[in-house]
Amino acid sequence: MHPPGVVTGALLRAETRGWALSGLLTASAAVVATLAVTPLTTGSRTDRLPVVVAALALLAVAAALGRRSTAALWGVVMLAVGVDVWMLAGAATLTGAILTMSAFTYPVLYAAYAFEGAWLTAALGVTAGGSAVGLALSGAGWHWIPWSVVVAGSVVAGYLVGRVLTVLRWYGTVDALTGVLTRTAFAAMAASAIAGSRRRGAPAVLVLVDLDGFKEVNDTHGHAEGDRVLVEAVDSWRARLRGQDLLGRAGGDEFLILLPDTDLDGAREVAAGLADVSPIAFSTGVALVGPHDTVATLLRRADAAMYAVKRRR
């Protein structure tokens, strides 16, 4: 049984990363504010902490505003790391420096969750290098053992966790046979795309595709041939679809296509173009996004339209 957040698609939406970062930075600002009022170490300089609180609060707002952009979120994380480095450089004692270095754990964990590939590697590299510079400039001076235990260890762990999450994310969002989005991932990304179309005042259409005679292919030629037909069909459709179009597998021989910036006539033209290149015939049902539609309501309307077409046949 999937967690509720995965079923509704919330955890798969791109903007969730931004809200998560905004919440993390807000919580960090609250922790630093508490330390500014009640410092844990005698002699620790706390004059920088109010500035850190204000900076983290501003970055929390920036993360919320830039929640749909990977580059923007990466930039916010790097600025947060820079704030932590500046705070670390102001530590007067080794105890204070170790406490401050623990703050780097949070951007590391967030980077492992939110970024992949070069984005993740760069974030971890900046965190490791920046923390080393901050410790060297602090009143405690350079101490490689505390830095290795507190920062380097979390960076290595963050890299490993990030690699595991990348693999799990792929299996959770990509249909292993055809390489298109799973139903859950499609619903999550379609919800974001529909919200974007509404903000722009642009139309969008959901297309439900059901392959004709696919059961006979499996029964006559075997499931291996059925799999080949599915893969060839998807490959032919991808060549005709735009980069902004979403393609997902609803299950079995049913597929979902979301066409942003497209009206009903345009969607029917797209469907006709897909039929021209498809290795197997299919039936379609289309539903134009209305002001209060969700992916679920669109799917019900598209499904009803498709079966109406089949009944007329």
Q: How confident is the model at residue 206 (pLDDT cuts 50, 70, 90)?
A: very high
Is the dihedral angle over the CA atoms 14, 15, 17, 20 positive or is it negative?
A: negative
pLDDT at 46: 62
pLDDT at 95: 86
The mean pLDDT of 103-108, rounded to a whole number, is: 94
Q: How confident is the model at residue 211 (pLDDT cuts 50, 70, 90)?
A: very high
Average predicted confidence (pLDDT) for the chain: 89
Q: How confident is the model at residue 270 (pLDDT cuts 50, 70, 90)?
A: very high
Question: pLDDT for 147-166, tens place per residue?
Answer: 999 999 999 999 999 999 88
The mean pLDDT of 192-207, rounded to a whole number, is: 91
Q: How confident is the model at residue 128 (pLDDT cuts 50, 70, 90)?
A: very high
pLDDT at 4: 44
pLDDT at 41: 57
pLDDT at 39: 65
Alpha-carbon gap, residue 149 to 144, rounded angstroms: 9
Going along the chain from its start, the domains and CATH numbers come out as: 4-173 (no CATH), 183-312 (3.30.70.270)
With contact defined as beta carbons under 8 Å apart, do 186 and 248 qualify?
yes
Lowest-confidence pick of 12-26, 127-141, 287-301: 12-26
Cut 0.75: pTM above it: no
Q: How confident is the model at residue 235 (pLDDT cuts 50, 70, 90)?
A: very high
Decide: residue 290, CB within 10 A, 0-12 exposed, 13-18 middle, 19+ buried.
exposed
Say how far residue 103 (Cα) sits from the centre of its chain. 24
Alpha-carbon gap, residue 237 to 122, rounded angstroms: 35
Q: How many CB atoms lie within 10 A of CB 187?
A: 24
Alpha-carbon gap, residue 299 to 195, rounded angstroms: 16
Q: Is the pLDDT of residue 266 over 60?
A: yes
Q: What angle do CA 228, 308, 267 make, to 5 degrees?
A: 65
Q: What percent of the chain has pLDDT over 90?
A: 64
Question: pLDDT for 68-87, tens place per residue?
Answer: 889 999 999 999 999 999 99
Alpha-carbon gap, residue 63 to 59, rounded angstroms: 6
**More confidently predicted of 118 and 218:** 118
Between the alpha carbon of residue 261 and those of residues 189, 200, 257, the distances in Å are: 15, 9, 13
Q: Is the pLDDT of residue 267 over 50?
A: yes
Residue of 210, 189, 193, 228 lying closest to 271 (CA atoms): 210
- What the block records as the tokens of 284 is 């379609």
With contact defined as beta carbons under 8 Å apart, do 190 and 182 qualify?
no
Q: How confident is the model at residue 6 (pLDDT cuts 50, 70, 90)?
A: very low
pLDDT at 245: 94
Q: How confident is the model at residue 45 (pLDDT cuts 50, 70, 90)?
A: low
**Sheet (strand 204-211) strand order:** 246-251, 254-260, 204-211, 282-288
Element (H, E) at 178: none
pLDDT at 2: 44
The mean pLDDT of 193-215, rounded to a whole number, is: 91
pLDDT at 313: 67
